[in-house]
């Protein structure tokens, strides 16, 4: 995917997600989504930036997001989904621990919960699903509630909350929370570069709910981060260096690169323009799928992108690889990149300590 200046969520961006197989169009759309996420985050209030410190693009599922946690689905997050006819903002809570905490607190504080939710403008709709958690992935069973927030009463919300508390306490079930606002794509496209400012303003209208959720979910996030906190020495000792097998290799290279704070936070590793021909399948190639190896892991969700106009090659890491990078390296340290071409048009990239 090429990195281009953000000019707005134009209609070509919306239409790209309706064109099957148009990879160049999708790459452009994703680059604009990435710019949108960065601009949007910068437009949020300091309180909202503090609650949602992470932002980016889920290239696999094709949406932008701002999130409380690096692994967005473990916390609470906004997703921004573009389709040819619509733009949808959704506040998502899908993690069982977060859901259990939210609905427990809601049951203990029904007035605060009702006030926080119904403070949302009329354009927002609430959906609480009943999902079969013993399916992979979880399957929709039915809706516990699906309507505009204006349709809520204190009594109906209390009943929904009681049901959600029960479902999230049962291994078989899960009751995720979604608060959404859908808009016409042409209206967003007409905003041009002002769309991040407008959408940030729409998010800020949820401040009473975000304040309530932030307070109630902070303990879950703090406990989770505390259990994950390890020194980099412990991580390096626990995870052996990935080994590079050059048997049967058709071509290969090794390159050591210094990591900047932004590289670690955003989860990418820059190579050089001289490295791009190694990955390019044709003159028009902009994205190359690779098999990534790090520590004792093998990852198939990372990619190498060509950045224009300088043709720089960039390794864009999956969430799992990004977490490993953050836990293993400090800014200023070097990572060793070894790329090997295999038969069958496959490229393996191994990351190690530089």
Give the residues across from 352 on adjacent strands.
Answer: 336
Q: Which residue, 23, 90, 2, is CA-closest to 313?
A: 2
pLDDT profile of the chain (354 residues), mean per 10? 74 85 83 93 90 89 91 93 96 94 94 96 97 87 96 97 96 96 97 96 97 77 53 61 65 92 86 93 87 90 86 90 87 91 88 85
pLDDT of residue 247: 60
pLDDT of residue 1: 44
Whole-number Å distance between alpha carbons of 102 and 214: 10
Whole-number Å distance between alpha carbons of 273 and 38: 25
Q: Which CATH code fits 11-227?
A: 3.30.930.20
Beta strand 173-174 with 125-132 is antiparallel
Domain 11-227 and domain 234-353, same fold? Reply is: no
Q: Which two tokens stand for residue 254?
A: 């090794």
- Domain locations along the chain: 11-227, 234-353
Beta strand 139-148 with 312-316 is unpaired
The answer to whether the CB of 173 falls within 8 A of the CB of 214 is no
CATH 2.50.20.10 fits 234-353, yes or no: no
Whole-number Å distance between alpha carbons of 253 and 262: 25
Is 127 exposed, middle or buried (CB count within 10 Å of its CB: 0-12, 13-18, 19+)?
Answer: middle
pLDDT of residue 2: 42
């Amino acid at each position: 995917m090429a990195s281009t200046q953000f000019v707005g969520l134009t209609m070509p961006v919306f239409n790209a997600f309706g064109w099957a197989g148009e990879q160049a169009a999708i790459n452009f759309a994703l680059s604009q989504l990435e710019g949108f996420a960065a601009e949007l985050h910068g437009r949020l209030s300091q309180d909202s930036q503090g609650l949602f410190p992470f932002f980016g693009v889920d290239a696999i599922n094709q949406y932008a997001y701002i999130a409380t946690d690096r692994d967005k689905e473990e916390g609470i997050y906004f997703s921004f989904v573009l389709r040819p006819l619509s733009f949808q903002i959704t506040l998502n809570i899908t993690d069982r621990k977060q859901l259990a905490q939210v609905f427990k607190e809601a049951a203990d504080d029904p007035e605060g919960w009702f006030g926080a939710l119904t403070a949302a403008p009329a354009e927002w709709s609430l959906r609480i699903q009943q999902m079969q958690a013993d399916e992979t992935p979880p399957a929709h069973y039915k809706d516990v509630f699906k309507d505009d927030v204006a349709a809520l009463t204190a009594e109906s919300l209390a009943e929904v909350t009681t049901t959600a508390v029960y479902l999230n306490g049962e291994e078989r079930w899960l009751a995720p929370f979604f608060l959404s606002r859908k808009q016409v794509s042409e209206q967003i496209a007409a905003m041009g570069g002002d769309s991040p400012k407008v959408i940030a303003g729409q998010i800020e209208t949820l401040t009473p709910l975000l304040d309530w959720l932030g307070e109630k979910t902070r303990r879950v996030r703090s406990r989770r981060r505390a259990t994950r906190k390890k020194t980099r020495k412990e991580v390096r000792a626990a995870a052996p260096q990935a080994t590079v097998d050059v048997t049967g290799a058709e071509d290969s290279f090794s390159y050591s690169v210094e990591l900047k704070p932004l590289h670690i936070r955003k989860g990418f590793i820059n190579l050089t323009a001289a490295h791009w021909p190694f990955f390019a399948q044709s003159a028009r190639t902009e994205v190359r799928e690779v098999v990534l190896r790090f520590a004792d892991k093998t990852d198939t969700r990372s990619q190498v992108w060509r950045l224009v106009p300088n043709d720089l090659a960039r390794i864009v890491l999956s969430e799992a690889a990004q977490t490993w990078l953050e836990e293993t390296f400090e800014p200023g340290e070097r990572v060793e990149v070894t790329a090997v071409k295999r038969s069958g048009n496959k490229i393996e990239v191994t990351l190690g300590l530089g």
